């Protein structure tokens, strides 16, 4: 049958790239999804191939939801889907832009659900596929920052459980809720280091932590509808602002 196939969205950089490289090292052929980060995706593919793995880059815009089913069906069977791509634009409930809100919801909620639905179509045998949704610890420690992002991730958290029910016993669906793992685009190094230590364990999640959790889920065939918090206990701290905003 050959290698199993994994599609990792947003795999050109950050957590998506780390997950893609790890799965390639485990023997998966990787579809390295990107939208605008072609150079980054190319580097991810090159790194995987240099290490002896198999990878191809694939470009599509997650906001163009009407075209996603046909595009994903064109990739053929997918054994593992990691919904890693997301946008983290800032807004609050008292200052909402309808177009921006819809774009965030499409990328962070609608697209992952559509990808999972199409992926599940190809699976008829028991426990033959796995979906992993990247969520956020802030779902368990709400604050008003990044309103549309939070709303979308909350929807994806609910979808993780309901899709697990719908796709069983063919496909498992689980979530990972990291804490602050990499610097936000506008964070200085010192700000990130301070925020990364601001949790009960005095050290937040790293890309390696998230990779280990992905591997744990894939190696646990009885696990479905579960969301694993990997955040140094950050979700236990009540915040009035997002941790990236100094909360």
pLDDT above 80 (res 245) = no
Does 132 fall in a domain? yes
Does 160 fall in a domain? yes
The confidence score (pLDDT) of residue 185 equals 81
Sheet with 227-230, edge to edge strand ranges: 54-59, 29-34, 5-8, 80-83, 129-134, 171-178, 227-230
- pLDDT tens, residue by residue, 51-105: 999 999 999 999 999 999 999 999 999 999 999 999 999 999 999 999 999 999 9
Positive or negative, the Cα torsion across 188, 191, 194, 195? negative
User: What global pTM score does this model have?
Assistant: 0.96
The confidence score (pLDDT) of residue 101 equals 98
Q: How many domains does the chain have?
A: 1
pLDDT above 90 (res 206) = yes
The confidence score (pLDDT) of residue 247 equals 60
Does 219 fall in a domain? yes
**Average pLDDT along the chain:** 96
More confident residue, 245 or 230: 230
Domain CATH code at residue 90: 3.40.50.720
Contacts 24+ apart (CB under 8 A), 95-101: 96/147, 96/148, 100/148, 101/148
The confidence score (pLDDT) of residue 246 equals 65
The confidence score (pLDDT) of residue 241 equals 81
> Who contacts 235 (Cβ-Cβ below 8 Å, separation ≥6)?
137, 138, 140, 141, 177, 179, 229
pLDDT above 60 (res 161) = yes
pLDDT-above-70 percentage for the chain: 98
Tokens 């990044």 correspond to 146
Does 26 fall in a domain? no
Does 164 fall in a domain? yes
The confidence score (pLDDT) of residue 2 equals 65
The parent domain of residue 97 ranges over 60-245
Does 171 fall in a domain? yes
Least confident of 123-127, 137-141, 236-240: 236-240
For the chain, the farthest-separated pair of C-alpha atoms sits apart, in whole angstroms, at: 53
Does 102 fall in a domain? yes
The confidence score (pLDDT) of residue 1 equals 40
């Amino acid at each position: 049958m050959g290698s199993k196939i994994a599609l990792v969205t947003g795999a050109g950089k950050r957590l998506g790239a780390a997950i893609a490289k790890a799965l390639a090292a485990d023997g998966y052929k990787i579809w390295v999804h990107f939208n605008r980060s072609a150079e980054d995706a190319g580097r991810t593919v090159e790194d995987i191939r240099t290490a002896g793995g198999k990878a191809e880059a694939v470009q599509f815009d997650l906001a163009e939801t009407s075209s996603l089913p046909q595009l994903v069906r064109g990739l053929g069977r997918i054994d593992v889907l990691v919904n890693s791509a997301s946008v983290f634009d800032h807004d609050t409930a008292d200052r909402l832009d309808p177009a921006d809100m819809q774009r965030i919801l499409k990328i962070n909620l609608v697209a992952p659900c559509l990808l999972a639905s199409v992926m599940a179509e190809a699976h008829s045998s028991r426990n033959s596929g796995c979906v992993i949704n990247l969520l956020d610890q802030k779902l368990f420690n709400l604050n008003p920052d990044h309103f549309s992002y939070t709303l979308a991730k909350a929807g994806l958290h609910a979808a993780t459980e309901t899709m697990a029910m719908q796709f069983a016993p063919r496909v498992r669906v689980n979530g990972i809720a990291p804490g602050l793992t990499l610097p936000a685009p506008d964070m200085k190094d010192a700000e990130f280091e301070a925020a990364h230590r601001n949790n009960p364990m005095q050290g937040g999640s790293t890309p390696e932590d998230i990779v280990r959790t992905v591997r744990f889920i894939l190696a646990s065939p009885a696990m479905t509808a579960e969301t694993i918090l990997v955040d140094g206990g950050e979700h236990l701290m009540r915040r009035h602002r997002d941790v990236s905003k100094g909360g």
